[in-house]
Amino acid sequence: MITRRKFVTRLVQGAGASLLLPTLQHCRPAETMHAQLGGPDAALGHRLRTMDFGPPVSDTTTGIVIIGGGVAGLSAARYLKRYTSDFTLLELAAEPGGNAIGGQNAVSRYPWGAHYLPMPNDQDPELVAFLQEAGIITGYTDGLPVYNEYHLCFDPQERLYINGYWQAGLVPREGIPVRDRDEIERFLARMHEYKEMRGSDGREAFAIPVANSSQDPVLRQLDTISMETFLTQHNFTSPFLRWYIQYCCADDFGSAPADTSAWAAIHYFASRKGKAANASSDTVLTWPEGNGWLTNQLQTPLQEHIHTRSLVHNIQWSRGQVAVTYFDATAGVSRRIRARAAIVATPQFIARRLLGDTTRTFRPEAFQYAPWMVANVTTTADLTEKRGEPVCWDNVLYGSESLGYVNAVHQKAGLTGTERVLTYYLPLLGTDALARRQQAQRTTADAWTDIILADLQRPHPGIEQHISSLDLWIWGHGMIRPAPGFIWGTDRPEAARPLQDTVYFAHSDVSGLSIFEEAFYQGHTAARQAWQTL
C-alpha cells in the first residue's frame, strides 16, 4: 500500500492534453454565487510595450537598487539589510510576493499561487536562518531542527479521488491492478537510486539548490531528454504511474512530461532530503495564505525600503553606476534613481526589455513560462459526498487536468462553522505556452467557472448550490518551464552572468526551477555578490 507520503518518505529514507473550454450550462451555480476574474496588474505592466512615460520628475540616489519584489527580490533585500540600509526595492504590484502572494475574504486567508514549502534541506544556511527568524524552526534536538507545530501541515494531509472513492495519499492505489502497483514500486526504487547517488565529482546527483548538484556528464545527459522519453526508455508504461508523473510535472513545472527535462523531473523526486526532530521527512510547511505567509515575514522588516506600484521601464548602466527610471503609478509620474549596483529580480523576458542590448548571448526563446489559472472557491459544501478519506489539506482528482484543490482553512486551529475556501489550481499545459496564455486571457469568468464546476462536481455533486463566491486569478507567466536541455544548457548560466560587476540577476528562472528555495537562493546570492563588489 503506497500513499504519496510513504512514496516520498521512502525516497528520503533509503500525457498532458490541451484544456477544452466547453459551455456547461447544466452545471451553472445558484444565482447567489459571485464570480470575479483578476490577476497581476497587466495593464500597468503592458505599458512597457508602448513606453508611454513622461520625463522623470525626481532624481535620487541609493547604494543598491533591487528591481522586483518576489521571493528572490525580498531575499536579496533581507541579506542587504544585515549590512546596510542604503538600498531600495521597486515592485510593480501593489503588494510584494510575486507568485507567492495570498488573499483574504470573510472566511479565511488563502493562496493565489505557491502554497507550501517542503521540509528544507540543510544546504542553504541562509534559508535555515530565515526559518529561525520567522519562528518556524524553534530549536534543535540531536542536531535536527524542531519545527513549530502550527506551521507543519495538519493531518489528514492528502487524498485522491479515484474510481468513485477518496483514497489516502496521492499515488494511485485503490482498485488498480497488481502489475501497476509493481511498476510504481519499480519506479520508486529507481528514484531511490538517484536520491542516494553521487556523481563522479563526489557531489549529490540531485540537490537543492540546483547549483550544488553534481556536474557529472552522465547525470547531466538526463537533461537532454524529456521525462516522457525517460519513462519509455525504462519501460514505465502503467497509465496510473504515467498520470502521477504528469501530476508531479504539472505541479512543480506547469508542463507535461513530454515538455519537461528528465533531469528536472527526477530532481522532483530525488532532491528532497530534509529532516526534522518532530516531523517525518515528507511533511510540508503550509499556511492558510500559502507562501504568502513567508513573503509577509520577509517584507515586514523591509517596509522603509520597498516602493510598490513602481514600474521600472529603463535601466542604463556602466561599470559601477546604474540609473533606473520607473513610473510611480501612485503619483502618476516617472522618477529616476541612481545606484552603484542593481539586482534585477525579474523574469528574463522583462529583464531583457529593461536592459536593452547587453553582452549576454542567451536565447530568449529558451526561457518558457507556464500560464496558470487559480480559483478560490468559498463554499459551505461538506465535501464528503463520496466514500473514503475525509477532507484533507490537498485533495486531488484522478484523471483531471487540474491539480485539484487545497483546503485553505485546514491550518486554522479551532475552526468552527461549515464555510471553507478551496484553492483550485489549473496549470495550462501544452507545448505552445504562448497560445495557452493568449487563450487564457480571452477566456471569460463564466467560462472558467463552468470548467471548475464540471471538475468539482465529479466528487461533489451539487456543489454549485453551496458556493457563495468564486474568485479567479490568471498567471500569464506563472513559472519557468524546464524544457529538455534547459537546466544544463548554455542559456541559463549566460542569463545569470552579472554585467561588469554592476548588474546582477536574481530570479528562480536562472535556477531553472520555480520553487521557493531556488528563488530565495538566487536572491541572497546576488545580494552577496553585489555587496562584496561595493
C-alpha cell at 346: 525579474
The dihedral sign for the CA sequence 353, 45, 307, 103: negative
Q: Element (H or E) spanning 104, and its range?
A: strand 102-104
Q: Do 24 and 454 contact (CB within 8 A), yes or no?
A: yes
Assign 480 to helix, strand or coil. Answer: strand
Buried/exposed code over 180-193 (b: 16+ C-beta within 10 A; e: otherwise): bbebbeebbebbbe
Burial of 85 by CB count in 10 Å (0-12 exposed, 13-18 middle, 19+ buried)? exposed
Q: Element (H or E) spanning 159, and its range?
A: strand 158-162
Binding-site residues for FAD, in ranges, read 312
pLDDT of residue 201: 98
Q: With CA atoms as reference, report the closest residue to 208 among 269, 152, 153.
A: 269
The answer to whether domain 43-105+289-364+484-533 has CATH 3.50.50.60 is: yes
pLDDT of residue 22: 38
* Sheet with 405-407, edge to edge strand ranges: 34-38, 467-481, 368-379, 420-427, 405-407, 394-397, 158-162, 165-168, 387-388
pLDDT of residue 33: 66
Binding-site residues, in ranges, read 312
The Cα–Cα gap between 152 and 322 comes to: 43
DSSP state of 120: P
pLDDT of residue 6: 39
pLDDT of residue 34: 67
Please state, in angstroms and as integers, the Cα–Cα distance from residue 469 to each residue in 35, 459, 466, following that order: 6, 19, 9
The Cα–Cα gap between 88 and 73 comes to: 11
C-alpha cell at 203: 557531489
pTM score of the predicted model: 0.92
The Cα–Cα gap between 164 and 167 comes to: 10
Buried/exposed code over 198-223 (b: 16+ C-beta within 10 A; e: otherwise): ebeeeebbbbbbbeebbebeebbebb
Torsion-angle region of 318 (φ positive above 0: left; ψ -120 to 50: alpha; else: beta): beta
Give the residue carrying C-alpha cell 471538475: 455
Torsion-angle region of 202 (φ positive above 0: left; ψ -120 to 50: alpha; else: beta): left
Query: Could you list the mean pLDDT of each consecutive 10-residue stretch along the chain, which spans 534 residues?
Result: 37 35 44 68 71 90 98 99 97 95 96 96 92 98 96 96 96 94 96 97 97 98 99 98 98 97 98 94 96 98 97 94 96 97 96 86 94 97 91 97 97 76 97 94 94 97 95 95 98 95 97 98 98 90
pLDDT of residue 43: 67
Q: Write the DSSP string, 284-348.
A: EE--TTTTHHHHHHHHGGGGGGEE-SEEEEEEEEETTEEEEEEEETTTTEEEEEEESEEEE-S-H
Bond preceding residue 209 cis, omega within 30 of 0: yes
Q: Element (H or E) spanning 354, and its range?
A: helix 348-355
Amino acid at 260: T
pLDDT of residue 40: 72
Q: With CA atoms as reference, report the closest residue to 444 among 64, 28, 35, 29.
A: 35
Amino acid at 299: Q
